């Protein structure tokens, strides 16, 4: 695997691959990689000839008081993991390389409506930062296909809409959530949790599974299902952020007539904000 730090180096390398007729797959990350990230690499590898990953902790998507300064930077370990999975290129730019004129004067990409819901409501400006950096990375890498994890379901929807609205020639693929044996969604922020908190964290997915079972049995009292799950989470030690039952196609609140659903949840446990979701086909 070749590690590149500048846009000029990246474009020179990938121009040669394109000239040889190679299909470029791309997996953008913020580093501190775990098995979930590596499964994205596997999917990109299966759908392209050359796999590029990026590691960039994007300051635009962090709000005031969030964990930008403390977010783990583990470049050497990440390089070893990517190399072991057959990644061809790692793009690891500096902040100055991505935002050469400073963040304040950076053109920003806003995906309306969907960015204001759920994670967007509790983290104002977050999805603007995500859309901006992904649009820039797409311009730098110019991939044929890009793979994103479905754990960040709303983020995936934002990126799909941005790509479609801007007519970007990139195929967006979602990859299933990677979980541990207890059902906890793998996340870089799981590293903030103690051993006891890691055990408690499994209650988040268990609560979503209980909602799924109730929906399959025909219970359409969404408000009651949500409140019951929230109380279960609070009893376990979580602090509420949001828990909603939505239409999977547009993330609008579901009604009893809808059959393609997704349950989205975010909650605080100790020092970590954890997210999870469950897609349900009724």
Which residues are designated catalytic?
37
The encoded tokens of residue 92 equal 């690891």
The encoded tokens of residue 79 equal 């390089």
The encoded tokens of residue 179 equal 């979980």
Residue by residue, DSSP assigns 81-133 as HHHHTT--EEE---HHHH-TT-STT------TTGGGSTHHHHSTTHHHHHHHH
Torsion of the alpha carbons at 84, 172, 66 and 204, rounded to the nearest 10: -80
- How far is the C-alpha of 279 from the C-alpha of 209, rounded, in Å? 10
- What is the bridge-based pairing of β-strands 171-175 and 239-247? unpaired
Is the CB of residue 177 less than 8 Å from the CB of residue 245?
A: no
Q: Which residues contact 282 (CB under 8 A, 6 or more apart)?
A: 215, 216, 258, 259, 260, 261
Is the CB of residue 153 less than 8 Å from the CB of residue 125?
A: no
> φ, ψ for residue 91 (rounded to 5)?
-100, 115
- How far is the C-alpha of 116 from the C-alpha of 47, rounded, in Å? 32
Is the CB of residue 58 less than 8 Å from the CB of residue 130?
A: yes
Phi-psi region of 10 (alpha: psi -120 to 50; beta: other; left: phi over 0): alpha
- How far is the C-alpha of 252 from the C-alpha of 246, rounded, in Å? 5
């Amino acid at each position: 695997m070749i590690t590149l730090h500048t846009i000029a180096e990246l474009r020179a390398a990938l121009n040669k691959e394109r000239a040889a007729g190679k299909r470029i797959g791309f997996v953008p990350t913020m580093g501190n990689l775990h098995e979930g990230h590596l499964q994205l690499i596997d999917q990109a590898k299966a759908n392209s000839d050359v796999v590029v990953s990026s590691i960039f902790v994007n300051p635009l998507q962090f709000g005031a008081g969030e964990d930008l300064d403390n977010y783990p930077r583990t470049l050497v370990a990440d390089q070893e993991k990517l190399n072991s999975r057959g990644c061809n290129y790692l793009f690891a730019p500096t902040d100055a390389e991505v935002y050469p004129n400073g963040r304040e004067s950076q053109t920003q990409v806003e995906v309306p409506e969907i960015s204001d819901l759920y994670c967007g409501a509790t983290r104002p400006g977050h999805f603007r930062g995500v859309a901006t950096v992904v649009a820039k990375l797409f311009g730098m890498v110019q991939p044929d296909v890009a793979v994103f994890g479905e754990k960040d379901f709303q983020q995936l929807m934002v990126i799909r809409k941005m790509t479609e609205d801007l007519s970007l020639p990139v195929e967006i693929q979602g990859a299933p959530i990677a979980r541990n044996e207890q059902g906890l969604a793998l996340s870089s922020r799981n590293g903030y949790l103690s051993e006891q908190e890691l055990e408690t964290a499994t209650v988040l997915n268990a609560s979503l599974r209980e909602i799924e079972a109730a929906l399959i049995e025909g219970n359409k009292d969404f408000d009651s299902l949500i409140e019951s799950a929230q109380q279960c989470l609070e009893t376990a030690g979580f602090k509420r952020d949001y828990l909603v039952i939505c239409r999977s196609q547009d993330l609008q609140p579901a009604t009893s007539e809808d059959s393609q659903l997704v349950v989205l949840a975010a909650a605080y446990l100790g020092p970590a904000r954890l997210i999870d979701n469950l897609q349900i086909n009724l």
